[in-house]
């Protein structure tokens, strides 16, 4: 047990899927896992462990933002011996070729924040997902005919729709970064995984766009991301 997780060690599987929203964790457990059981409810950060096609998997909500993700992924890796975490979240599109409900596989995550400096006094702002894990996800996407778009993302500290001048923010990014989307957790996950010699990947579903003025409801965000969920679960069978 930790200050944030009430689970016993054997309650948590070696493979964890991390949606941000606790209700999405509940939805995934109830609709995709066999025999799911609630293994954490501290602060209502719901977690469930069950099986998918015979493979034990934990669905553990991470909350919003790098500090929250940083807490949960660190404790899962360090104190529960989790080997692999796949974030399954949502993002906003910064590329006009992307549409609502497109699935993105994050290759690189960039942040202006100081998560790395806070954790271990390192000056790191750009980090990659686990290469082997990403290759398994791409392989699975081809096998299951689930379109998956490799992309680099901005991992922000402020929800981008509240940023006073988004163009100024975008102009500060590295010119060769090839930004396609923005979210708020991937950098903390990738950096913590590398720091602790673990594996991490991030799948995202586009839920809004800065180009096409497309949006979906909070209920759709919770329940309509099934392609991404299935891709993460099917990949987990290969790990």
- Residues marked as catalytic: 208
Spatial separation of the C-alpha atoms in residues 70 and 233, rounded to whole Å: 22
User: Using CA atoms in the order 188, 158, 229, 232, what is the torsion angle rounded to 10 degrees?
Assistant: -20
Spatial separation of the C-alpha atoms in residues 239 and 237, rounded to whole Å: 6
Query: Quick check: helix, strand or coil at residue 151?
Result: strand
**Closest by alpha carbon to 95, among 182, 173, 205?**
182
Whether the Cβ atoms of residue 189 and residue 85 lie closer than 8 Å to each other: yes
Whether the Cβ atoms of residue 236 and residue 144 lie closer than 8 Å to each other: no
CA 193, 196, 199 angle in degrees (round to 5)? 35
What's CA 60's distance to the chain center, in Å? 11
Whether the Cβ atoms of residue 82 and residue 12 lie closer than 8 Å to each other: yes
**Residue 8 phi/psi, 5° resolution?**
-75, 160
From residue 170, alpha-carbon distances to 164, 176, 238 in Å are: 12, 12, 37
């Amino acid at each position: 047990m930790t200050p944030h997780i009430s689970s016993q060690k054997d309650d948590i599987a070696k493979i964890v899927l991390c949606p941000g929203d606790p209700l999405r964790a509940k939805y995934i457990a109830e609709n995709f896992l066999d025999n799911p059981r609630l293994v954490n409810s501290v602060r209502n950060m719901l977690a469930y462990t069950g099986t998918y096609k015979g493979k034990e998997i934990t669905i553990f909500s991470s909350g919003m933002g790098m500090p929250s993700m940083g807490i949960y992924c660190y404790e899962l890796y360090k104190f529960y011996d989790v080997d692999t975490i796949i974030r399954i979240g949502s993002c906003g599109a910064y590329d006009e070729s992307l549409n609502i409900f497109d699935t993105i596989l994050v290759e690189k995550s960039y942040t202006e924040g100081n998560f790395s400096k806070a954790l271990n006094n390192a000056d790191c702002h750009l980090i990659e997902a686990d290469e082997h894990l990403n290759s398994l996800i791409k392989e699975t996407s081809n096998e299951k005919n689930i379109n998956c778009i490799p992309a680099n993302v901005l991992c922000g500290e402020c929800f981008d729709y509240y940023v006073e001048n988004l163009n100024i923010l975008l102009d500060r990014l590295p010119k060769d970064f090839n930004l396609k989307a923005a979210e708020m957790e991937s950098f903390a996950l990738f950096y913590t995984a590398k720091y602790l010699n673990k594996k991490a990947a991030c799948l995202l579903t586009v839920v809004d766009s800065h180009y096409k003025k497309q949006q979906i409801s909070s209920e759709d965000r919770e329940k309509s991301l099934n392609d991404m969920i299935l891709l993460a679960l099917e990949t987990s069978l290969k790990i």
